[in-house]
A and B are shown apart, each in its own frame.
Chain A
């Protein structure tokens, strides 16, 4: 079977964290030159890069009509006026709990994704991964693939090397500038700011932000790369608590691959037991983290699945089943391991014949990973928690009124007795008009017998209703004086309502106290 297949060449590569050369923390970084690879997951990663970068770069340029009184930028963090615009949603600072809720959802979402499909966030969607992927693509475009890169790295300085190095870092820096440049558009009107930035009219903080993000993008994406994931990011340390035996993780099936042998034909001829792994090191060579997945699940692995692509490619070339490295649960792995070693412990020797029939094909008893394993109590709980918060946020959002009212009763003086024996209470009223539309509202009193009110600028006269105009998207502070005759009140303290009603039908009510002297009644 193997005789007519060309044996792939063994790549000379050593995993950065192999036990042989395990070093203490703060060891010097070992250079990694990941080899280019193609396949399903590589295509998926290109697609994810396209989607995430598109979202990042295009979002600030989407327009959303909010009428003449507010920005037409769909997504805008307006720090100056302390507003956050997100399409049809407008968040005021006191509604920050939406953001808190979104962060909790992001957290639980990360738990959900990790417990089902491992560190999919790290492998496909994390900005660090996406930008490093982009930087690697640039590096390959300039320097060529792994071997050329290594040769260039080892070569003495020459004009050619200098040109390549300068152009690579220049492109990286340009990407950094564009990254920082895109970020600032989330905080100001994008078209205006672009013109200002290009004509050097933008505020210094814009240039500072661009410079800072250029520096971090260049450093993290170009220079530090996998070091960020391994040493700076907390998530790899938490993953041990998030993964369980039902999580789909990128796994090397050593029950099938071992004993690995790079001279398969010779070994078969000598009647030695031989697994599917031909020890070609393709999985190590393509790994952007520089690790050997055959060592098992490890902290450094971001589950980008490029080793799956590399191994599948090799398996196809030598005419074996794909999936020697694959997304598998620990449960299935253990079952197959038990099958291959003939014991339930981990210490048995893998005997390839136990799981293969006479033709060399895998027997039916071998477990293949079922995607249904992602549905289990743990993931259901995460999903329910995630949905509950999401639904709660949506409900609050749907039910919230864009007209809100805050009333603060004066503390000093609590009440004032007037000449005619009536009592006056003062209130600081704040009426929030939370949409970019001007409104006319009426302020009325309910539940205060004989109550009437006045504003400080309408001296001497009191009325039952006051009409005021609200500016779009603004808070109207109002000084309100409420008058009542204590003889008509039942107690020194009377609970009553101040109601604001807008012409377009919105209402907000505040429950407040009216205080009168004990002796006056």
Chain B
């Protein structure tokens, strides 16, 4: 349009469009905005060539520099793995008891075990490894299956009552009440007998109780109820109870037994990870 019409009031050119006598003013975009916009378009074209951008049927255009966020992650993970590679191999090659003698290796194993514990163990044992009813506290000095580093390592590797591992830690307390192996009176007197070992309220020792304990319990819990870690028979003489440390609690367990299970971690995590976990758990303060 050679002859631009200038609006009298504003002094601005019009677009030449007119509706019912109303004319449209032509107020173009600021130059800087326009050039920024063109710059963005140019950048977007360049970006879509350089980086993955255009969706195809099964994937997307790869881009000329072949960037992939997955590949970046893999690279970072590989670098992180490589950074600890030597020590992981070293842990795998070292008997677990010897790891404790190597301060640097033990420090690494403890740190690794701590993070593994958070992922795999804290669901049952708690983030502070304090456990709860039915899930043992790993900070104390009571160990159902033994508290040496080797025993902890074995328990972790094969699990407890794990169906997946034939070498798993296994025992089963009979249902003395539910299966009618003992009468209600007998359960009452043996429960009082057991309660008396650790000074639980209501605990009374009696000749029948001593006899019943010797006949039914001592095989797994030891002659005086001191516990047999080899068989996984918990000590009945101390202040730590897996379920309930009261007379009623003991009776309940005698009537209808409860048992915990733990997965066999050896097959799932590999020996190196299990060793790290063992070192960590052993170092929580109760390790023997």
Chain A interfacial positions (CB closer than 8 Å to B): 411-413, 416-421, 424, 426, 456, 459-460, 481
B287 touches A416 (CB 8 A): no
A412 touches B239 (CB 8 A): no
Main secondary structure of the interface of B (DSSP, over half): loop
- What residue of chain A has the Cβ atom nearest to residue B240's Cβ? A419
- What residue of chain A has the Cβ atom nearest to residue B237's Cβ? A419
CA distance A417 to B142 in the complex (A): 10
Contacts of A416 in B (CB 8 A): 130, 137, 139-140, 285-286
CA distance A303 to B288 in the complex (A): 77
Contact partner of B142 (CB less than 8 A), chosen from A411, A413, A419, A424, is A419
* Beta-carbon contacts under 8 Å, B253-285 to A: 283, 285
Number of B residues with CB within 8 Å of any CB on chain A: 19
B288 touches A417 (CB 8 A): no
A420 touches B288 (CB 8 A): no
CA distance A511 to B5 in the complex (A): 88
What is the CB-to-nearest-CB distance from A481 to chain B, in angstroms, rounded to a whole number? Answer: 6
* Beta-carbon contacts under 8 Å, B112-156 to A: 126-130, 137, 139-142
Contact partner of B128 (CB less than 8 A), chosen from A413, A421, A459, is A413
Given contacts A416-B139, A418-B142, 19 further A-B contacts (CB under 8 A): A411-B128, A412-B126, A412-B128, A412-B130, A413-B129, A416-B130, A416-B286, A417-B140, A417-B240, A418-B140, A419-B140, A419-B235, A419-B238, A419-B239, A419-B240, A421-B239, A424-B140, A426-B285, A456-B285
CA distance A411 to B139 in the complex (A): 13
The verdict on A460 contacting B288 (CB below 8 Å), with A412-B130, A417-B240 known, is yes
B239 touches A459 (CB 8 A): no
Contacts of B129 in A (CB 8 A): 413
CA distance A417 to B129 in the complex (A): 13
B127 touches A412 (CB 8 A): yes
CA distance A418 to B140 in the complex (A): 5
What is the CB-to-nearest-CB distance from A97 to chain B, in angstroms, rounded to a whole number? Answer: 32
Contacts of A481 in B (CB 8 A): 285
B283 touches A456 (CB 8 A): yes
The verdict on A413 contacting B139 (CB below 8 Å), with A419-B235, A456-B283, A459-B287 known, is yes
CA distance A459 to B128 in the complex (A): 20
- Interface centre among B128, B129, B137, by most A CB within 10 Å? B128
CA distance A460 to B127 in the complex (A): 24
B288 touches A413 (CB 8 A): no
The verdict on A418 contacting B141 (CB below 8 Å), with A459-B288, A460-B288 known, is yes
16 A-B pairs with C-beta separation under 8 A: A411-B128, A412-B127, A412-B130, A413-B128, A416-B139, A417-B239, A418-B140, A418-B142, A419-B140, A419-B235, A419-B240, A420-B238, A421-B238, A424-B140, A456-B285, A460-B288
CA distance A459 to B148 in the complex (A): 11
- What residue of chain A has the Cβ atom nearest to residue B137's Cβ? A416
Main secondary structure of the interface of A (DSSP, over half): loop
Contacts of B283 in A (CB 8 A): 456
The verdict on A418 contacting B239 (CB below 8 Å), with A424-B285, A426-B285, A459-B287 known, is yes
Contacts of B238 in A (CB 8 A): 419-421
Contacts of A413 in B (CB 8 A): 128-130, 137, 139
- What residue of chain B has the Cβ atom nearest to residue A456's Cβ? B283
What is the CB-to-nearest-CB distance from A416 to chain B, in angstroms, rounded to a whole number? Answer: 4
- What residue of chain A has the Cβ atom nearest to residue B103's Cβ? A457
4 nearest A-B pairs in the assembled complex, by CB-CB distance:
A412-B128, A419-B238, A421-B239, A416-B139
CA distance A424 to B127 in the complex (A): 18
- Interface centre among B129, B142, B285, B287, by most A CB within 10 Å? B285
- Interface centre among A417, A419, A460, by most B CB within 10 Å? A419
CA distance A420 to B130 in the complex (A): 17
CA distance A4 to B283 in the complex (A): 101
Contacts of B287 in A (CB 8 A): 459
Contacts of B288 in A (CB 8 A): 459-460
B285 touches A419 (CB 8 A): no
Contacts of B240 in A (CB 8 A): 417-419
- What residue of chain B has the Cβ atom nearest to residue A412's Cβ? B128
CA distance A412 to B126 in the complex (A): 9
- What residue of chain B has the Cβ atom nearest to residue A460's Cβ? B288
- What residue of chain B has the Cβ atom nearest to residue A421's Cβ? B239
CA distance A412 to B130 in the complex (A): 8
CA distance A459 to B285 in the complex (A): 8
Contacts of B142 in A (CB 8 A): 418-419
CA distance A424 to B239 in the complex (A): 13
Contacts of A417 in B (CB 8 A): 140, 239-240
What 1/0 mask marks residues of chain B from 205 to 244 whose CB sits below 8 Å from any chain A CB? 0000000000000000000000000000001001110000
CA distance A418 to B141 in the complex (A): 6
What is the CB-to-nearest-CB distance from A139 to chain B, in angstroms, rounded to a whole number? Answer: 45
CA distance A413 to B283 in the complex (A): 14
What is the CB-to-nearest-CB distance from B279 to chain A, in angstroms, rounded to a whole number? Answer: 12
Contacts of A411 in B (CB 8 A): 128
CA distance A459 to B141 in the complex (A): 10
Contacts of A419 in B (CB 8 A): 140-142, 235, 238-240
- What residue of chain A has the Cβ atom nearest to residue B128's Cβ? A412
What is the CB-to-nearest-CB distance from B126 to chain A, in angstroms, rounded to a whole number? Answer: 8
What is the CB-to-nearest-CB distance from B118 to chain A, in angstroms, rounded to a whole number? Answer: 12
What is the CB-to-nearest-CB distance from B246 to chain A, in angstroms, rounded to a whole number? Answer: 11
- What residue of chain B has the Cβ atom nearest to residue A481's Cβ? B285
Contacts of A460 in B (CB 8 A): 288
- Interface centre among A413, A424, A460, A481, by most B CB within 10 Å? A413
What is the CB-to-nearest-CB distance from A315 to chain B, in angstroms, rounded to a whole number? Answer: 61
CA distance A460 to B147 in the complex (A): 12
